[in-house]
Structure 1
Amino acid sequence: MKVSIRIEYCPKCGWMLRAAYMAQELLTTFTGDIYSVELIPSEISGRYTIMLNQQVLFDRKREGRFPEIKELKQLVRDQVNPQKDLGHSDKK
């Protein structure tokens, strides 16, 4: 079953382009595994949270940083298609 991903970002902080880039990378990498990636402008300042279905994959405030795209792909892969080879983005 394909999953839905939500990226909630702070528009006041100017993080829309970062969210759009990550959405593009996920849609390109997981073509057969992802149903949708939804970008949600947050009403809470400083928020940058990535959710898979209803599970939080990454929260900027909790981690104290943004995810690297390689790291995000690995987190998604581990949930949706553990056997998928991510090529150069895979764990070493």
Structure 2
Amino acid sequence: MKPSIQIEYCPKCGWLLRAAYMAQELLTTFSDDLYAVSLQPSEIAGRYTVYLNQEIIFDRKREGRFPEIKELKQLVRNLVNPDKPLGHSDR
């Protein structure tokens, strides 16, 4: 089965649009490689965590920042389809 991505975000912080944008980018880039990308409102304030099959691949609190979309695409690519070219995101 293809892997799934989950983006857990803080709705109180207003991060839904950021999470939706990243979900759209991942679904567009990895349309053949992912089963789903889901958004989950967090009950914990300030949370913005990206999971691949329930394993954390990016945590805003741990990194001290949000992921850049280029960086997130590279992280996902390296785990789901290492041979996939990402065009300008590889530069």
1:75 partnered with 2:66? no
Show the counterpart of 1:49: 49
**What amino acid is aligned across from residue 49 of structure 1 in structure 2?**
T
Structure 2 residue ranges without an equivalent (≥5): none
Return the alpha-carbon distance in structure 1 between the equivalents of residues 12 and 31 of structure 2.
30
**Cα separation, 1, equivalents of 2:83 and 2:68:** 21
Q: Once the two structures are superposed, what CA deviation does each residue of 1:32-52 show, in whole Å capped at 9, x if it has no partner?
A: 001001100000000000000
SS of the residue corresponding to residue 49 of structure 2 reads: strand
Runs of 4+ off more than 2 Å = none
Q: Which residue number corresponds to residue 34 of structure 1? A: 34
Give 1:2 shift: 1.1
Q: Structure 2: how far apart are the matches of 1:3 and 1:45?
A: 27
Please give the secondary structure, in 2, of the residue aligned with 1:79: helix
TM-score, structure 1 as length reference: 0.97
- How many residue pairs match? The answer is 91
Percent of aligned positions with the same letter in both sequences?
A: 78
How far apart in 2 are the matches of 1:21 and 1:28? 11
Q: Deviations over 1:46-66 (max 9, x none)?
A: 000000002101000000000
| Stretches of structure 1 lacking an aligned partner (at least 5 in a row) | none
Structure 1 counterpart SS, 2:35: strand
Residues of 1 paired with 2:45 and 2:54: CA distance?
21
- Structure 1 position 20 matched with structure 2 position 20: yes
- Paired AA for residue 26 in structure 2: L
